[in-house]
């Protein structure tokens, strides 16, 4: 199997009004990944990342900054190093506290039983 090195600093960021900026760092076109997509998200004050319920599993990891996450109607303060797993029916909203937040999002499909 070939090894692919991806310099994420050279990937273009896409502005998402109200949701910060993002870039995919792992997908089919970058390295042939068939069943996984990973992305980096940068949030500023007033930006919100929404993880919607879908037929997939999601892992959200806070790489930098402080934030607030809403899960099941409750809000929690989170900081660098925190992570949350979301199953296929689960949702979450994350917002930056103190002006900036960097997230790593990993999405994989639900495996049939």
Q: Give the global pTM.
A: 0.89
* pLDDT 10s digits, 18-28: 899 999 998 88
| 39 domain residue, yes or no | yes
Give me 25's structure tokens.
């760092």
| 31 domain residue, yes or no | yes
| 1 domain residue, yes or no | no
| 10 domain residue, yes or no | no
| 64 domain residue, yes or no | yes
Q: Which domain holds residue 59?
A: 18-109
Q: What is the CATH number of the domain that holds 80?
A: 2.60.120.10
| 89 domain residue, yes or no | yes
Give me 83's structure tokens.
């992570």
> How many structural domains are present in the chain?
1
| 50 domain residue, yes or no | yes
| pLDDT bracket for residue 5 (50, 70, 90) | confident
| 7 domain residue, yes or no | no
* pLDDT 10s digits, 53-110: 888 899 999 999 999 999 989 999 999 999 999 998 899 999 998 889 999 999 997 6
């Amino acid at each position: 199997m070939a090894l692919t090195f991806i310099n994420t600093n050279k990937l273009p960021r896409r502005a998402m009004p109200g949701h910060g900026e993002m870039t995919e760092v792992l997908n089919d076109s970058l390295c042939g990944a068939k069943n996984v997509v990973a992305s980096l998200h940068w949030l500023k004050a007033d930006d919100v990342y929404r993880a919607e319920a879908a037929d997939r599993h999601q892992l959200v990891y806070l790489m930098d900054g402080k934030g607030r996450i809403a899960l099941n109607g409750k809000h929690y303060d989170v900081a660098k190093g925190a992570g949350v797993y979301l199953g296929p029916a689960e949702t979450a909203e994350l917002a930056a506290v103190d002006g900036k937040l960097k997230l790593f999002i990993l999405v994989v499909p639900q495996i049939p039983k």
